[in-house]
């Protein structure tokens, strides 16, 4: 029982760190930071905020597998819902069945994440599956509200564009690369995987480039997924 509680609280702590870092950095970048395109720090902050946006979705994703707060379904769902909502107003109850459909029917016609066409066609198919009109409306309203209180350049650079790039990052490393092309008949998860490089795996997509490993052990949270890599 003690081990379960420790695992539960550690997962919650890591989720709250990701959400807290995203929130704190965004507030600082919008409210305090003087944008200077000649400064390397601007681009470091931009990339970090993009990475934290990706972390929001990864946190929501882990909640879909019940591993943010194992044994605490209400807490797990609450954290997943908050993380998804902060990432461009994604709605957790809508994402949940689609993601499990992906796991059950990976790389088939019933897989909402899969598309057999070109890279561009696949990307737009992915966007159509996960972006709704009401999200676009809410993002537009939020953008217009934020620019009333913060510099427009900061809103674009640190709130809007990182969300777009994080969506592409999630698609490229978490969907396209692992599932494109043909897979061997004995590949039961029809998924590829990155070569073992924990630094790159974390930076690129919170270890979800180790995608075969994730499909093989979906009960492993992102921060322990590297341990499954042989």
pLDDT 10s digits, 54-100: 999 999 999 999 999 999 999 999 999 999 999 999 999 999 999 99
Note the pLDDT of residue 25. Answer: 98
Q: Would you give the DSSP letter of residue 113?
A: T
The reported pLDDT for the residue numbered 1 is 37
pLDDT for residue 2: 39
Q: How many residues does the chain have?
A: 230
Residue with tokens 């994440």: 113
Would the CA dihedral through 58, 223, 30, 79 be positive or negative?
Answer: positive
pLDDT at site 163: 96
The tokens of 158 are what?
């640190």
Looking at residue 8, its pLDDT comes to 67
Res 134: pLDDT: 93
Residue ranges in the chain whose pLDDT is less than 70 = 1-8, 184
Predicted local distance difference test score (pLDDT) of residue 3:
41
Give the DSSP letter string of 174-228.
IIIHHHSS---TT-TT------S-HHHHHHHHTTTT-HHHHHH-TTS-GGGGGGG
How confident is the model at residue 7, as a pLDDT? Answer: 59
């Amino acid at each position: 029982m003690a081990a379960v509680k420790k695992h539960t609280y550690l997962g919650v702590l890591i989720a709250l760190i990701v959400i807290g870092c995203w929130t704190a950095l965004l507030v600082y970048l919008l409210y305090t930071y003087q944008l200077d395109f000649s400064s390397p720090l601007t681009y470091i902050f931009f990339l970090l905020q993009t990475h934290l946006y990706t972390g929001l979705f990864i946190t929501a994703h882990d909640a879909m597998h019940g591993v943010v707060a194992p044994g605490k379904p209400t807490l797990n769902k609450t954290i997943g819902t908050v993380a998804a909502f902060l990432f461009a107003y994604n709605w957790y109850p809508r994402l949940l069945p689609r993601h499990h459909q992906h796991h059950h029917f990976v790389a088939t016609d019933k897989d909402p994440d899969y598309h057999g066409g070109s890279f561009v066609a696949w990307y737009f198919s992915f966007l159509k599956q996960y972006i709704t009109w009401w999200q676009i409306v809410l993002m537009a309203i939020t953008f217009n509200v934020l620019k009333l209180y913060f510099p427009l350049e900061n809103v674009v650079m640190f709130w809007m564009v990182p969300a777009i790039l994080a969506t592409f990052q999630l698609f490229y490393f978490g969907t396209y690369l692992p599932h494109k092309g043909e897979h061997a008949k004995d590949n039961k998860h029809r998924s590829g995987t990155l070569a073992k490089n924990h630094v790159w795996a974390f930076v690129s997509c919170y270890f979800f480039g180790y995608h075969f490993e994730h499909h093989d052990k979906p009960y492993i949270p992102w921060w322990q997924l590297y341990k499954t890599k042989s």
